[in-house]
């Protein structure tokens, strides 16, 4: 059975993920990738870069593509001019509502606090909890009993609401027991909390030197739009892709790496003619969903969810999320993996003219907010970020479609999907439960493991030669310790798709066995053909 507990335990045991600064007790919302995890995440980013950018062939157009397009890459800085964040809207609008509990000295995201009604005798209270969905009812029952000072034998005298609801669904007269509180009504009213990490530039560190760690990689692309246009031969429609770290001071980081404070994004800003933007929006939604299934996420665990108008971010005139059924969520619920947003011309226009008034209804946010002096409050760069079509002579501000993916959420989804338990024969041929990470070979941290069947008769020497040869082309692992069955099991847990064993026949016939992780089938391959054979098997996925 797949459970988050087992997945987290495997990640730690096998070196996929560790808590950051663990020896000092850890720091919430930060995660380190171990030797296997770093390879997996690198492979995921590499697959994205390759499939979206470098292997994209601008000359190929298909029936589903509105027209041919080009893709280029960028690597912009994490710290940028503070004005970037004023014009992007993040300075004024990028916040969550949070509530504090002075008694417990804790802070929570308002929309994440859930709970249930608890009734004992004639008193009814709402017990709030931050427990995971599966443990929510138990946590509410335990804390309700503690609050009413009930013993276990009196448990059935207390009634527990069957439905879990969020705190924001309650009216203000309700008595609430905060998630970590002992007394009632300790929670404050919701307040806005900006999610950007502040930092200061230079040694003086005055108010004017304050800037922020980027909360998205996207803005680095917008402010370089003109540089890319002027320095390369791209013409609209085209996309700029970027992979890099982003930082958000999340109030309640949770669910393993799902909501972290430091994470990596893989973002594309795709610039197109306003008249074609809806076609491109559809194109990117389909293309990105297909990418996840091509790398092994099952289509039953994925959904495309269109945002309601009130959910849209300040820049967006339409957004669809690709969501995945992460195992930490209740049955039937999905968590965001990637957002595909139609950003209109919000960003280019605001970096050109100044910050847009957040009160203006979405879709009409083209007005510049004026200060008391009648000048734009947050001035844009003043640079012309419009585009002139050389063929038609038309000048316009391109619209932007933004497929924005999280590398850490992606890695987590692939880890969750890959985790499986099945039955396989052990070294004595007895069927045993095995844990296996069925990662797509392109993503697998180790592509092949090489074993000598025994540690004698010249087998280690042959195996080491093979290892050396394969190592020039891919990440390979050499192991000669313990029974070969146990070595297979260790590689199954690491997600290694192919295990190569050198046996007596290898010495006489110059062949080895290649065992497939998923089918468990073994085939004999000539040693001279191994590099080509394993490469071909990986690339065929």
Q: Which stretch binds ligand GAP (CB under 6 A): 67-75, 98-106, 259-267, 355-363?
A: 259-267
Cα 281 to Cα 275: distance, rounded to the nearest angstrom: 11
DSSP letters of 484-521? HHHHHHHHHHHT--EEEEE-HHHHHH-EEEEEETTT--
Binding of residue 339 to ligand GAP (CB under 6 A): yes
Binding of residue 41 to ligand GAP (CB under 6 A): no
- By CB atoms closer than 10 A (0-12, 13-18, 19+), residue 95 is middle
State which of residues 129, 252, 404, 506 lies at the interface with ligand GAP (CB under 6 A). Answer: 404
Q: Which residues fall within 8 angstroms of residue 508, CB to CB, at 6 or more apart? A: none
Pair of tokens at residue 385 = 């970020």
State which of residues 143, 273, 409, 489 lies at the interface with ligand GAP (CB under 6 A). Answer: 409
Cα 260 to Cα 315: distance, rounded to the nearest angstrom: 23
Q: Which stretch binds ligand GAP (CB under 6 A): 55-63, 144-152, 198-206, 261-269?
A: 261-269
Asked whether 492 and 435 are in contact (CB, 8 A), the reply is yes
Nearer to ligand GAP, 30 or 148 (CB): 30
Q: Which residues are bridge partners to 434 per DSSP?
A: 422
How near is the Cβ of 219 to ligand GAP at its closest, in Å? 8
Nearer to ligand GAP, 117 or 263 (CB): 263
Binding of residue 405 to ligand GAP (CB under 6 A): yes
Cα 408 to Cα 299: distance, rounded to the nearest angstrom: 20
How near is the Cβ of 410 to ligand GAP at its closest, in Å? 7
Binding of residue 216 to ligand GAP (CB under 6 A): yes
State which of residues 85, 117, 193, 263 lies at the interface with ligand GAP (CB under 6 A). Answer: 263
Binding of residue 340 to ligand GAP (CB under 6 A): no
Nearer to ligand GAP, 212 or 477 (CB): 212
Q: Which stretch binds ligand GAP (CB under 6 A): 331-339, 353-361, 424-432, 475-483?
A: 331-339
Binding of residue 342 to ligand GAP (CB under 6 A): no
Q: How many helices (H) and strands (E) does the chain have?
A: 14, 28
How near is the Cβ of 199 to ligand GAP at its closest, in Å? 18
Cα 389 to Cα 244: distance, rounded to the nearest angstrom: 31
Q: Which stretch binds ligand GAP (CB under 6 A): 108-116, 257-265, 510-518, 523-531?
A: 257-265
How near is the Cβ of 442 to ligand GAP at its closest, in Å? 20
How near is the Cβ of 315 to ligand GAP at its closest, in Å? 8
Cα 238 to Cα 229: distance, rounded to the nearest angstrom: 10
How near is the Cβ of 166 to ligand GAP at its closest, in Å? 19
Q: Which stretch binds ligand GAP (CB under 6 A): 171-179, 304-312, 333-341, 481-489?
A: 333-341
Report the site for ligand GAP in 471-500 (rule: CB under 6 A): none
How near is the Cβ of 10 to ligand GAP at its closest, in Å? 20
The three-state (H, E, C) secondary structure of 338-377, written as one string: EEEEEEECHHHHHHHHECECCCCCCCCCCCECECCCCCEC
Q: Tell me how crowded residue 168 is: count the other CB atoms within 10 A of its CB.
A: 13
DSSP letters of 111-176? GG-EEEEEEETTEEEEEEE-S-GGGHHHHHHHHHHHHTT--GGGGGGEEE-SS-EEGGGS-TTS-E
Q: Which stretch binds ligand GAP (CB under 6 A): 285-293, 330-338, 375-383, 443-451?
A: 330-338
State which of residues 46, 111, 132, 336 lies at the interface with ligand GAP (CB under 6 A). Answer: 336
Nearer to ligand GAP, 339 or 398 (CB): 339
Cα 321 to Cα 336: distance, rounded to the nearest angstrom: 6
Cα 64 to Cα 537: distance, rounded to the nearest angstrom: 29
Q: Which stretch binds ligand GAP (CB under 6 A): 68-76, 227-235, 334-342, 419-427?
A: 334-342
* Residue number, nearest CB to ligand GAP: 406
Binding of residue 260 to ligand GAP (CB under 6 A): yes
Kindly state the number of chain residues that form the binding site for ligand GAP, as judged by CB under 6 A: 19
Binding of residue 88 to ligand GAP (CB under 6 A): no
The percent helix, strand, coil of the chain (3-state, each to 5) is 35, 30, 40
Q: Which residues of 395-431 are buried (b: 16+ CB within 10 A; e: fewer)?
A: eebbbbbbbbbbbbbbbbbbbbbbbeeeeeeeeeeee
* Cα first-last separation, the chain: 26
Binding of residue 194 to ligand GAP (CB under 6 A): no
Cα 499 to Cα 496: distance, rounded to the nearest angstrom: 7
User: For binding to ligand GAP (CB under 6 A), which residues are involved?
Assistant: 216, 218, 248, 250, 259-260, 263, 265, 267, 336-339, 402, 404-406, 408-409
């Amino acid at each position: 059975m797949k459970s988050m507990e087992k997945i987290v335990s495997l990640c730690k045991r096998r070196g996929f993920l560790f808590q950051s600064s663990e020896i000092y007790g850890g720091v919430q919302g930060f995660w380190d990738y171990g030797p296997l995890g770093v390879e997996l995440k690198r492979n995921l980013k590499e697959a994205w870069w390759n499939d979206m950018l470098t292997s994209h062939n601008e000359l190929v157009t298909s029936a589903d593509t509105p027209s041919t397009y080009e893709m280029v890459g960028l690597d912009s800085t994490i710290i940028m001019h503070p004005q970037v964040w004023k014009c992007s809207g993040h300075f004024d609008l990028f916040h969550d509502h949070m509530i504090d509990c002075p008694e417990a000295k804790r802070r929570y995201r308002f929309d994440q606090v859930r709970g249930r009604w608890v009734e004992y005798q004639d008193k009814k209270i709402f017990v709030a909890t931050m427990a995971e969905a599966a443990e929510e009812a138990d946590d509410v029952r335990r804390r309700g009993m503690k609050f009413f000072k009930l013993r276990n034998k009196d448990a059935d005298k207390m009634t527990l609401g069957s439905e879990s609801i969020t705190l924001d669904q309650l009216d203000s007269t309700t008595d609430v027991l905060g998630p970590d509180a002992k007394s009632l009504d300790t929670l404050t009213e919701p307040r806005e909390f900006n999610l950007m990490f502040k930092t200061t530039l230079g040694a003086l560190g005055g108010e004017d030197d304050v800037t922020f760690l980027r909360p998205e990689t996207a803005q680095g692309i917008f402010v370089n739009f003109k540089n890319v246009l002027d320095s390369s031969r791209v013409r609209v429609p085209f996309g700029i892709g970027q992979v890099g770290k982003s930082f958000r001071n999340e109030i309640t980081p949770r669910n393993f790496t799902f909501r972290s404070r430091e994470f990596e994004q893989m973002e594309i800003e795709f610039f197109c003619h306003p008249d074609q933007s809806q076609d491109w929006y559809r194109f990117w939604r389909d293309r990105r969903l297909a990418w996840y299934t091509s790398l092994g996420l099952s289509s039953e665990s994925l959904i495309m969810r269109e945002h309601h108008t009130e959910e849209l971010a300040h820049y967006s005139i339409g957004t669809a999320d690709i969501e995945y059924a992460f195992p930490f969520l209740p049955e039937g619920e999905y968590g965001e993996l990637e957002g595909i947003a139609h950003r209109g011309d919000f960003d280019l226009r605001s970096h050109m003219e100044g910050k847009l008034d957040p009160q203006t209804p979405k879709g009409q946010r083209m007005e510049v907010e004026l200060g008391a002096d009648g000048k734009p409050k947050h001035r844009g760069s003043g640079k012309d970020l419009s585009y002139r079509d050389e063929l038609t002579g038309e000048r316009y501000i391109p619209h932007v479609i933004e497929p924005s993916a999280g590398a850490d959420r992606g890695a987590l989804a692939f880890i969750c999907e890959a985790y499986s338990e099945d039955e396989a024969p052990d070294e004595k041929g007895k069927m045993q439960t095995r844990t296996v990470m069925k990662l797509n070979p392109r993503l697998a941290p180790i592509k092949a493991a090489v074993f000598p069947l025994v540690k004698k008769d010249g087998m280690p020497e042959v195996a080491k030669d093979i290892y050396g040869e394969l190592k020039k082309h891919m990440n390979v692992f050499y192991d000669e310790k313990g029974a070969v069955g146990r070595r297979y099991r260790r590689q199954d847990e690491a997600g290694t798709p192919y295990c190569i064993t050198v046996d007596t026949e290898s010495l006489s016939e110059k062949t080895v066995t290649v065992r497939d992780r998923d089918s468990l089938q073994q085939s004999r391959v000539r040693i001279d053909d191994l590099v080509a054979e394993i490469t071909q098997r990986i690339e065929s996925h």
